[in-house]
Amino acid sequence: MNAGLPTENILELDDVHVFYGAIHALKGVSLTVREGEIVTLIGANGAGKSTTLRAINGLNHARRGSIRFQGNDITTATPHTIVKGGIAQSPEGRRLFPRMTVIENLEMGAFQRTDRENFQADMDRVFELFPRLYERRTQNAGTMSGGEQQMCAIGRALMARPKLLLLDEPSMGLAPIFVEKIFEIVREINAQGTPVLLVEQNALMALDAAHRGYVMETGRIALEGEAAELKTNEAVQKAYLGLE
């Protein structure tokens, strides 16, 4: 499936443990994302998918284990240095700045960038991907519909020109036609060279879009493999694809 892809790891998690107070949320997660890949992370509610992305982003530091990005250890780095290094996230629940306009939200996405000259071109590209956002560009993000907010959150992450894009349930709350469109955009972003780590509830579509996948269960990686293989895996079909 991923023949022709370079096999260099851009992201490596090795035995990562994360705690919320006394709650042991990640119990030794190891995964990799290679250059050019879409990797999906699926699993039941509370399995630890968002926590994994938060650990990568430096919002919850791993108490044990290590996280390497492009060969550098970022396990204990601060979030803003990690973002500056090239990891952008569209977080669960969108987390837009509600009393800032769409344009200002997009500007915040590009906050750590130093190449101000490409800024307008990138914003135009986001507006091209999401024409609806252009119509809403001077509206406060908090007053937009859920779907519009989701587009803005993805656009905001793209504005960082990331070397690795983390997407936490980008299709959440979107009408089916928009879900299709979001997956199309994820493929397109990836085709232009950006590796993507995609957390999804919609396991079927995620496995269709991804090269490889990981299945999480209660803080651990239960299964991993080529996306096409996972799709035909009996346990996955039963638990996540709603097939008997």
Ligand X SMILES: Nc1ncnc2c1ncn2[C@@H]1O[C@H](COP(=O)(O)OP(=O)(O)OP(=O)(O)O)[C@@H](O)[C@H]1O
Interface stretch with ligand X, choices 5-13, 49-57, 72-80, 111-119 (CB under 6 A): 49-57
Q: Which of 45, 120, 138, 192 binds ligand X (CB under 6 A)?
A: 45
Report, in Å, the least distance between residue 212 CB and Mg ion. Answer: 20
**E runs forming strands in the chain:** 9-20, 23-34, 38-43, 64-69, 72-73, 87-90, 164-168, 196-199, 212-217, 220-226
- Which of the 8 DSSP states describes residue 1? -
* Rounded least distance, CB 185 to ligand X, Å: 21
In the structure encoding, which two tokens stand for residue 150, read together?
């989701």
CA pseudo-torsion sign 108, 114, 120, 124: negative
Q: Which two tokens stand for residue 81?
A: 């240095």
3-state SS class at 9 = strand
Give kind and range of the element (H or E) at residue 161: none
109 binds, among ligand X, Mg ion, other proteins, none (CB under 5 to 8 A by kind): other proteins
Residue 43 contacts other proteins per CB under 8 A: no
* Closest separation in Å from C-beta 222 to ligand X: 12
Give the separation between CA 69 and CA 58, rounded to whole angstroms: 12
Q: Which is nearer to ligand X, 29 or 189 (CB)?
A: 29
Report whether 223 contacts 230 (CB < 8 A): yes
Q: Binding mask 56-95 vs ligand X (x if CB under 6 A, - otherwise)? A: ------------------------------------x---
Say if residues 222 and 215 touch (Cβ distance below 8 Å): yes
CB of 117 to Mg ion, least distance (A): 36
Of 73-112, which residues contact other proteins (CB under 8 A)?
78-80, 83-84, 88-89, 91, 95-100, 104, 107-109, 111-112
State the binding partner of 98 from Mg ion, ligand X, other proteins, none, CB within 5 to 8 A by kind. Answer: other proteins
Rounded CA-CA distance 125/195 in Å is 18
Smallest separation, CB 173 to ligand X (Å): 13
**At a CB cut-off of 8 Å and minimum separation 6, what does 102 contact?**
133, 136, 137, 138, 139, 141, 144, 152
Strands 64-69 and 212-217: unpaired
User: Please, which residue, 32 or 57, has the CB nearer to other proteins?
Assistant: 57
Place of tokens 């990836």: 190
| Shortest reach from residue 215's CB to other proteins, in Å | 25
Which residues sit at the interface with ligand X, rule CB under 6 A? 20, 23, 25, 43, 45-51, 92
Which residues sit at the interface with other proteins, rule CB under 8 A? 57-59, 78-80, 83-84, 88-89, 91, 95-100, 104, 107-109, 111-112, 156, 160
